[in-house]
Amino acid sequence: MKVTVRLLMAVMPLLMLHAQPALAQTGSLQVKISPQGAIDAGAQWKVDSGRWRDSNYIETGLSVGSHTVWFKGEIDGWSEPNSQTVQINDGQTTTTTGTYIQQLGSLQVTISPQAAIDAGAQWRVDGGPWHDSGYTEPNLIEGDHEVEFSIIAGWKEPNTIDIFVNVGPTTTTSGTYTAIGGGSLQVTILPQAAIDANAQWRVDGGPWQDSGYTEPNLTVGPHTVEYKPITDWKEPNSQTVQINDGQTTTTSGTYLQAGSVRVTISPPEAITAGAQWRVDGGTWRDSNDTESNLAIGLHTIEYKQISNWNEPNSQTVQINYAQTTTTSGTYTQAGSLQVTISPPEAITAGAQWRVDGGAWQDSNNIVTNLTLGSHTVEYSVIAGFNKPSNQTVQINYAQTTTTTGTYTLQSGSLQVTISPPEAVAAGAQWRVDGGPWHDSGHTEPNLAVGTHTVEYSVIAGWNEPNSETVQINDGQTTTTTGTYIQQLGSLQVTISPQAAIDAGAQWRVDGGPWQDSGYTE
């Protein structure tokens, strides 16, 4: 026992000497940032309150448990990802990612004056495609951009603009062109009588000017000359003129003596339903309106189509100087017609109808604006069908008359005779188009007009006729024949012994004549 105690006492200091405290559990974290553009702009990350790290950096020595990953904000043109909570495990590298979103804005540029726009002025941003005034360029990165204006003849373009595009509302800016040089415009009006009636002109919507006046200080480029409407005269059409630097452009406009037209529409019910008129394809006008300043000569009056009424035919009227020509148009009440065709096979084959020799219509089409009273319905001719007879229908005001037309299939019959009688007796038959078998002499009715195939049955000992194609005609019986050919063979009989043959032995078949040995029947 003493020995044992001494040994334990000797070991205890050794055990105590080698005891060590437990090591803490740690792991690592790697964070990948995207896209590359955000990285290039300075995007970084950090864990908890640590130092900012670049994409793909591995942060080591992190305690096991939850940690927070933060992404650097205030990166120009980019929105940082939300912070993340990650789990660190002992001896492992946790990985995660963070995606920055590019911040985009838009830019709208307005160009002035309008004359520069008309001359082709445009703008572009950062050397991109050219755009017209008022266009909005989308998807621009937040930050500084350069707006450039195109070079056009006769104008000095605005200086290039450096502009900061923000995220959210559209950034706007403008550019003003200035005319280089300028010219003048002189307009002469004809005839003198129109001038005496106060005919005038103006350029680009400006003040009215008298004949012979010279408008100065016009920008180089195209301009529009307009002539004032005056009573009893038809003004010239507007003109586009070219102004050149340092020059006076001249042009002229000739007024034509004019008159007016007034159209009265009847009955009042048609007017209430929307009936109107117009001259030479112009603006629709109400009954008793007056269209003035029409050139002297012939003009066309047209009437508007309205439901349940037939409009009057177009009219040609004579317009005279300083006079009002009057005319009238009477609408007539109308109804509609719908025709249904049967059977469907006839429709598929192209069956149609028409009323009073008009345009052909498909089954169930509705023809509107037919005058009240009797009308004739006609049906088209199609192959293989008998069309319905023409019909007379009554059209009533604001109603749709309906009628039907039934096509009948054109048909004929077929009779087939089989020969010889021996084949008939042996069971020979025929059929048409794969139908039921029939005996010789049978007549098959109600076959559609056209071609059909006749087939003959197979019977023992006979070769059947080949199939044939026959033509069926409307209301007629087509006849044809089919001849079977009997199948034949030969028979040779040998008798033995020779001594019997020598004694006169013979043979015969089916009670026929006697034959010698070796004969072939």
- The 3-class secondary structure across 42-68, one letter per residue, is CCCEEECCCCCECCCCEEEEEECEEEE
Read off the pTM: 0.40
| Residue pLDDT, tens place only, 432-480 | 999 999 999 999 999 999 999 999 999 999 999 999 999 999 999 999 9
Instruction: Give yes or no for a contact between 521 and 491, defined as CB atoms under 8 angstroms apart.
Output: yes
CA diameter of the chain = 154
Domains observed in the chain: 26-102 (2.60.40.1120), 104-179 (2.60.40.10), 183-254 (2.60.40.1120), 257-330 (2.60.40.1120), 333-409 (2.60.40.10), 411-486 (2.60.40.10), 490-521 (no CATH)
| Residue pLDDT, tens place only, 260-316 | 999 999 999 999 999 999 999 999 999 999 999 898 999 999 999 999 899 999 999
Helix (H) or strand (E) holding 114: helix 114-118
How many beta carbons lie within 10 A of that of residue 273, not counting itself?
14
- What is the Cα–Cα distance from 457 to 435, expressed in whole angstroms? 12
* Tokens at 128, concatenated: 């991109």
Residues of the chain with pLDDT under 50: 1-19
- What is the Cα–Cα distance from 85 to 481, expressed in whole angstroms? 98
Amino acid at the residue 435: G
Q: What is the pLDDT of residue 322?
A: 85
Instruction: Give yes or no for a contact between 98 and 60, defined as CB atoms under 8 angstroms apart.
Output: no
- CB contact set of 466 (below 8 Å; sequence gap of 6+): none
Q: Running DSSP on this structure, what letter comes out for residue 498?
A: H
Angle at 163 between CA 158 and CA 169, to 5 degrees: 120
- What is the Cα–Cα distance from 200 to 420, expressed in whole angstroms? 107
